[in-house]
């Protein structure tokens, strides 16, 4: 079961234990806004009623989808040896 956080903001919904539930379209719009914002992730998440850990996970997943993480030497999987 979900409920809205506030009557003025029907886009932010929470489940029965307080987790924010946004559909992909609205989450992507929120992340687009964050990328243009001068605010830190902590302040942006608090301003929009999202727990920081949830917001940070969304940002991290988006970066993984876009392959924005740099490859650090030693982090690559070991090459398979040809026999």
Output 40-43 pairs: Cβ under 8 A, ≥24 positions apart: none
Asked whether residue 1 is assigned to any structural domain, the reply reads no
Q: Please give the pLDDT value at position 5.
A: 47
Asked whether residue 27 is assigned to any structural domain, the reply reads yes
What distance separates the 2 farthest-apart alpha carbons in the chain? 65
- What is the mean pLDDT of each successive set of 10 residues along the chain, which is 83 residues long? 47 69 87 94 91 90 79 62 58
pTM: 0.62
Asked whether residue 12 is assigned to any structural domain, the reply reads no
Q: How many domains does the chain have?
A: 1
Q: Please give the pLDDT value at position 30.
A: 92
Q: Please give the pLDDT value at position 39.
A: 94
Give the Cα separation of 43 and 37 in Å (integer).
10
Q: Please give the pLDDT value at position 43.
A: 95
| Closest among 57, 56, 48 to 5, alpha carbons compared | 48
Q: Please give the pLDDT value at position 21.
A: 75
Q: Chain-centre distance of CA 12, in angstroms?
A: 14
The boundaries of the domain holding residue 54 are 23-66
């Amino acid at each position: 079961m979900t409920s809205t956080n506030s009557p003025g903001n029907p886009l932010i919904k929470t489940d029965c234990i307080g987790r924010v539930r946004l559909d992909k379209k609205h989450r992507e719009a929120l992340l687009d806004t964050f990328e243009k914002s001068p605010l830190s992730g902590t302040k942006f998440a608090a301003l929009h009623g999202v727990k920081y850990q949830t917001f940070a996970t969304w940002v991290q997943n988006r970066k993984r989808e876009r392959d924005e993480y740099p490859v650090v030497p030693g982090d690559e999987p070991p090459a398979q040896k040809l026999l």
